[in-house]
């Protein structure tokens, strides 16, 4: 006769015991977990509302405690490979000597990390808006710091393979010594960024989207994969980077579309087979320039306060037609092209749609400005 194994009864587990994850969860939530508890499997305490006191010396493959309101501290001597405590609103510090393979702290109110912290692969601190400093000599494979708006400095001798410092508004500069080991530097929307560190010599991917105060890249920088300079201050590339794959809004585009958009032709835009890339080329060329060169079809004409008004269309292969209402400002006489849905068939219908009317018959402006 086979007997069903139910695991040890709560309250009867001695220190140093090994228990299944389900039993460990029950012991912890009831506040009777012994020290040096070893968990078989993944211990998932996510979204628990009870006050959580994890046992000293907790051992296991993974601890998931996302969005736990009652978790205020991690235990000492913990030996867990993957720790995810993201979204724990009351976790403000970590124990000394913490060592793991992955550590996810994103969205917690953590302010500093302990000296000697060891994270072998991934450390995620995204949206830790109260984080002010990192320990010197921090060495980790992947480091996410996106949205750490109180982080004032990067640590000296930082050693990473992948570094994301996007939206880190309070950073003032680079450490004197550090390295990104042939991986990626993601530095989107960093207004403080005016230059890259001299110790950055070779990298796979570089994203400086929105870094308007960054006007040049180092002459000796080598990028082996791609470079995204969307809306940055970079106006030209050093000779050593002229063959790098360029991106704009994450999409690969030719260099002249970025540095000389006036040289784009309507045929080049229409002939681009990738619809997303085509939209980027159209953005770089500008609607006015594109329609002037694309031999657009006029769908309708009428008059408004600014004068002649036209509804024009250009067919885009593999994409919806590009339809715009061409109008003039009554005050300045300046011409404007306003994109409208491709279903529009008249100027009045397009103007009504832009004014927020579903039924064009309801749109009867006394005076348009």
Dihedral of CA 48/54/60/62: which sign? positive
Structure confidence at residue 288 (pLDDT)? 84
Does residue 25 sit in the same domain as residue 109?
yes
Closest CA to 51 of 68, 63, 34: 68
- Nearest-angstrom CA–CA distance, 90 and 275: 46
Q: By the 8 A CB rule, do 217 and 197 touch?
A: no
User: What single string gives the DSSP state of each residue in 98-164?
Assistant: -EEEEEE-TT-------TT-EEEEEEE-TT-TT-----TT-EEEEEE-TT-TT---PPTTEEEEEEE
Does residue 188 sit in the same domain as residue 70?
yes
Q: What is the pLDDT of residues 258-278, one digit of tens each?
A: 999 999 999 999 889 898 999
Structure confidence at residue 146 (pLDDT)? 98
- Mean confidence (pLDDT) of the chain: 91
What is the arithmetic mean of pLDDT over 90-106?
96
| b/e burial code for range 99-127 (CB count within 10 A of at least 16 → b) | ebbbbbbbbbebeebeeebebeebbbbbb
Structure confidence at residue 295 (pLDDT)? 84
With a cut of 90, say whether residue 304 has pLDDT above it. Answer: no
Q: By the 8 A CB rule, do 130 and 110 touch?
A: yes
Does residue 173 sit in the same domain as residue 306?
no
Which of 260, 286, 308 marks a domain boundary? 260
Does residue 198 sit in the same domain as residue 337?
no
Measured from the Cβ of residue 147, the count of other Cβ atoms closer than 10 Å reads: 21
Note whether residue 207 is domain-resident. yes
Q: What is the pLDDT of residues 201-252, one digit of tens each?
A: 999 999 999 999 999 999 999 999 999 999 999 999 999 999 999 999 999 9
Give residue 219's Cα distance to chain centre: 28
User: What single string gives the DSSP state of each residue in 321-333?
Assistant: -EEEEEEE-TTT-
List, in order, residues 6 or more apart from 154 with CB less than 8 Å away: 134, 165, 171, 174, 175, 178
Q: Residue written as tokens 């991917």?
A: 205
Tokens of 11: 């309250």
User: What single string gives the DSSP state of each residue in 217-262?
Assistant: --TT-EEEEEEE-TT-S-----GGGTTSEEEETTEE--HHHHH-GG
Tokens of 134: 């990192």
Note whether residue 3 is domain-resident. no
Which of 207, 236, 260 marks a domain boundary? 260
Does residue 231 sit in the same domain as residue 334?
no
Note whether residue 308 is domain-resident. yes
Note whether residue 10 is domain-resident. no
- Nearest-angstrom CA–CA distance, 103 and 125: 9
- Nearest-angstrom CA–CA distance, 53 and 50: 10
Note whether residue 272 is domain-resident. no
Which of 210, 241, 260 marks a domain boundary? 260
Q: By the 8 A CB rule, do 352 and 363 touch?
A: yes
Q: How confident is the model at residue 292 (pLDDT cuts 50, 70, 90)?
A: confident
With a cut of 70, say whether residue 366 has pLDDT above it. Answer: no
Does residue 254 sit in the same domain as residue 340?
no
Does residue 233 sit in the same domain as residue 306?
no
Does residue 48 sit in the same domain as residue 137?
yes
Q: Residue written as tokens 């404007």?
A: 336
Does residue 188 sit in the same domain as residue 232?
yes
Note whether residue 339 is domain-resident. yes
What is the arithmetic mean of pLDDT over 25-51?
93
Phi and psi of 235, rounded to 5°?
Answer: -110, -10
Structure confidence at residue 331 (pLDDT)? 76
Does residue 165 sit in the same domain as residue 245?
yes
Domain span holding position 108: 18-260
Question: Residue length, the chain?
Answer: 369
Tokens of 102: 């992955």
How many separate domains does the chain show?
2
Structure confidence at residue 1 (pLDDT)? 39
Q: Pick 34 or 317 by higher pLDDT.
A: 34
Does residue 189 sit in the same domain as residue 80?
yes
């Amino acid at each position: 006769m086979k007997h069903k194994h139910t695991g040890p009864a709560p309250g009867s587990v001695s220190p140093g015991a090994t228990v299944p994850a389900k039993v460990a969860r029950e012991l912890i939530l009831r506040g009777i977990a012994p020290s040096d508890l070893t968990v078989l499997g993944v211990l998932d305490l996510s979204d628990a509302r009870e006050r959580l006191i994890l046992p000293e010396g907790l051992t296991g493959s993974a601890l998931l405690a996302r969005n736990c309101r009652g978790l205020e501290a991690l235990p000492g001597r913990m030996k867990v490979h993957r720790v995810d405590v993201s979204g724990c609103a009351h976790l403000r510090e970590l124990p000394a000597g913490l060592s793991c393979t992955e550590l996810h702290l994103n969205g917690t109110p953590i302010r500093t990390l302990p000296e000697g912290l060891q994270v072998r692969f991934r450390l995620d601190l995204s949206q830790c808006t109260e984080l002010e400093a990192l320990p010197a000599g921090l060495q980790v494979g992947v480091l996410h710091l996106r949205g750490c708006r109180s982080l004032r400095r990067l640590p000296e001798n930082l050693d990473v393979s992948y570094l994301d410092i996007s939206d880190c508004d309070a950073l003032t500069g680079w450490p004197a010594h550090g390295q990104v080991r042939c991986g990626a530097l993601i530095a989107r929307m960093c207004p403080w960024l005016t230059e890259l560190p001299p110790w950055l010599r070779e990298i796979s991917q570089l994203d400086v989207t929105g870094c308007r105060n960054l006007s040049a890249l180092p002459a000796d920088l080598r990028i082996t994969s791609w470079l995204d300079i969307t809306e940055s201050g970079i106006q030209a590339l050093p000779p050593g980077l002229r063959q790098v794959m360029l991106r704009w809004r994450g999409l690969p585009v030719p260099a002249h579309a970025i540095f000389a958009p006036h040289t784009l032709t309507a045929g080049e835009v229409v002939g681009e087979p990738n619809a997303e890339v085509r939209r980027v080329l159209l953005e770089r060329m500008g609607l006015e320039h594109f329609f002037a060169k694309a031999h657009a079809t006029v769908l309708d004409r009428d008059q408004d306060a600014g004068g002649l008004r036209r509804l024009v269309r250009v067919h885009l292969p593999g994409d919806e037609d590009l339809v715009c209402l061409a109008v003039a400002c009554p005050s300045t006489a300046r011409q404007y092209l306003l994109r409208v849905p491709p279903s529009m068939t008249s100027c009045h219908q397009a103007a009504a749609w832009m004014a927020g009317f579903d039924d064009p018959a309801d749109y009867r402006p006394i005076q348009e400005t």
